[in-house]
Structure 1
Amino acid sequence: MYILLLVLDADQTNRYFQFIKSLAEPLALFFPGLFKTGNADLDVVLNYGLAAIFWLVVSGFVARLVAR
């Protein structure tokens, strides 16, 4: 959700945006700032998208462990 809000130029002073940002930043771990392409939108998609993929893989792994 944070990726969409940033790429679609949502109002960053909005409370909803701030709430989503406060959830997204700690979950992104060390991924923000990992790639710097010079294009802010592409940076957001790469960095936060990579964090989202990381959490999908981790949660899938944990789900398989729990299912055993």
Structure 2
Amino acid sequence: MVEEQIMTIYTGTKGCLNSLEIGQVRKFLVELCTYLKTNKPQFQEIISSTKTFTEEAEALLKEAIQEQMDRFLLHEQA
């Protein structure tokens, strides 16, 4: 899906994965995708309805990345 591609490219190119070990990246991205669908469904709705990566979509994605990163790192350290 396009929104998953946007999520992956954005997360990688904005340096959001820099704090992870290489072996953690795939797991994080899978969990981020699930988190986005569950907690920020507006992200997918915006992308599919407008066919663009709007500022609102970017804000939702940034929030989701930060929230999921906090959860992910907490879980990985446990």
Mark yes or no: TM-score above 0.5: no
- TM-score norm. by structure 2 comes to 0.39
Which of these two proteins has the greater Rg computed from alpha carbons? 1
TM-score, normalisation: structure 1: 0.44
